[in-house]
Amino acid sequence: MNKNIKKTAEKQEAEHRSSYLSDRYYVQLKPLLVKLKAKMDRRLVSTFLGLAMAILMNRHRNHGLLLSELGGYLMDPNQAPAGTKRIHRLLHSKKWSSKDIEEYLWGQADQRVEELWNAEKMILVVWDESVIEKPESLHLEGLCAVKSSKAKRLKRIKPGYFNPPGGRPIFVPGYHWLQVLVLGMQSAPTLAHFRWWTTRGEAASDKRSQEKEVLREITRRWGAHQVLHVWDRGFAGQPWLTQAYVHAVRFVMRWPKGYKLVDDQDRLRKAWEISRGKRSWGYRKLWDAKRRCHRKVGVVAFPVFDRAFQQPLWLVVARQGNGREPWYLITNQPVHSEEQAWPIVLAYARRWQIEMSIRFDKCELAFESPRLRRWETQLRLLLIATLAYSFLLSLIKPDLVDTTSWLLRHWCHRTGEWSRKVQAPLYRLRSAISRFWLSHPPPFLLSLRLNSG
């Protein structure tokens, strides 16, 4: 008798938490759903919300965003063709566009910037580039040549194995990808903008044009001095420095050691030559998020100028030791002392968040799996998938520790030390929600399935 009572109590708790999570997802998407409801039929809006939930539930790197797979999660498995047809109608509807989701993501970022500004905290806008590889595709709209990072990993020399492949970089069909996150020095990031572009077809563009457009939008929304932009080495060079000067933004940029700058003695020298022989101002033990260990890091800075416009800059050098290449960071923020140098180094260290974000999108959300022919339809599906990622990020908040702990404990239990200590277990959290909702479907999906009958 006691066992039956316990099972009943556990079932009721699971149903309550399932309803709570689905309600939270609905409330988060409500501004977007209201906007879509004004444009198209409410049945398509219901499909939109159901699809966003189905993407969370369908975990498969190769098939995660296939419509035939998602249809079986939207409806009952025996009604998968009907679910696929609903998704097809939604994605091909002419009454909405991918711009609606982009504007919603900008709105979320606006709120995050305002929260950090009111709390008087540093606001970082982190940029990064990647590609979506479609090596087996030929007829999708917008495909262009992109450098394959997968092939590069496979070509790395591994100890104990023979005849490592060499040669020139491998290019495959795919799309270019630009992502922007808003974050502070702590807590989870907020998605600000996703953009995919191609160099071929009717929508052909180029890298700098896309980046300029995004920079103009960010400056229009948040001003030039409210946020600090963080750029990796892919942005280094005179063309992008020119854009930073034109928009008068604050920035930190990773500078390749072989690129030249003008030092304080008006000599044109490489970055590593400017810092050669100069002792560090001070040292700190910093956490290496990539290799998960503490490292002793030294810092020193030098006033420099770019050789085209002679704009004053500062070269901040973070020396990691153990034979690792230092970080050469240039910034337009004054750095006259060790106390001013450390915030620049720590701001760039936060850039690792966007690396993890892109890896999560490719691995967990299967961004490389869609097989839709039209360019706009592909953008719509990918952006709906980003809403699932945004929802997962929203769960990593102090006020939701009880809910996330319960999910991880009951639906994705792990015994390894690393799994227990990780601060943002997004992979486990997504796995837990997937299993949980498969066993206890959200009330919205249940009603959607019942109404379809």
Question: What does the pLDDT average to over 87-100?
Answer: 95
Q: Is residue 156 part of a domain?
A: no
Confidence of residue 188 (pLDDT cuts 50, 70, 90): confident
Q: What is the pLDDT of residues 341-387, one digit of tens each?
A: 999 999 999 999 999 999 999 989 999 999 899 999 999 999 999 99
- Each residue's pLDDT tens digit, 102-135: 999 999 999 999 999 999 999 999 999 999 999 8
* 355 domain residue, yes or no: no
Average pLDDT taken over every residue of the chain: 89
- Domains identified in the chain, total number: 1
Please answer whether residues 315 and 275 qualify as being in contact, where contact means their C-beta atoms are separated by less than 8 angstroms: yes
Q: What is the mean pLDDT of residues 410-420?
A: 76
CB-CB contact of 162 with 168 (8 Å): no
Strand-pair category, 250-254 with 190-197: unpaired
Query: What average pLDDT score do residues 407-422 get?
Result: 77
pLDDT at 201 over 70: yes
- Note the pLDDT of residue 164: 66
State the average pLDDT over residues 269-296: 85
Q: Does any domain span residue 257?
A: no
% of the chain at pLDDT higher than 90:
63
Q: What is the reported pTM?
A: 0.92
Question: Can you give the pLDDT at residue 378?
Answer: 94
What is the C-alpha to C-alpha distance for residues 59 and 430, in angstroms, rounded to an integer? 8
Average pLDDT over residues 26-40: 94
User: Per-residue pLDDT for 420 more than 80?
Assistant: no
CA distance 371 to 63: 10
Question: Sign of the C-alpha dihedral, residues 274, 277, 282, 288?
Answer: positive
Burial class (CB in 10 A: 0-12, 13-18, 19+), 47: buried
Q: Which domain holds residue 410?
A: 2-95+395-452
Per-residue CA distances from 96 to 40, 92, 102, 226, 357 (Å): 7, 9, 12, 33, 27
Write out the two tokens for 15.
Answer: 């149903």
Please tell me which residue, 419 or 182, carries the higher pLDDT value: 182
Q: How many CB atoms neighbour CB 278 within 10 A?
A: 11
- pLDDT, tens digit, 9 for 90 and up, residues 135-148: 888 888 989 999 99
Integer CA distances (angstroms), 359 to 51, 130, 161, 232, 347, in order: 22, 10, 27, 16, 20
pLDDT of 165 higher than 90 = no
Q: Cα-flanking dihedrals φ and ψ of residue 127, to 5°?
A: -110, 150
pLDDT on residue 412? 87
Give the dihedral sign, CA 51/91/107/252.
Answer: positive
For residue 181, the model assigns a pLDDT of: 96
Cα–Cα–Cα angle for 240, 287, 125, rounded to 5 degrees: 30
Q: Quick check: is 57 in a domain?
A: yes
Q: Are 326 and 275 in contact (CB under 8 A)?
A: yes
pLDDT at residue 430 tops 70: yes
Lowest-confidence segment of 150-159, 168-177, 237-246 by average pLDDT: 150-159
310 found inside a domain: no
419 pLDDT exceeds 90? Answer: no
Is 67 within a domain?
Answer: yes
Confidence bin at 451 (pLDDT 50/70/90): low
CB distance 135 to 173 below 8 Å? yes
* 426 in any annotated domain: yes
Structure tokens at 26: 């609905």
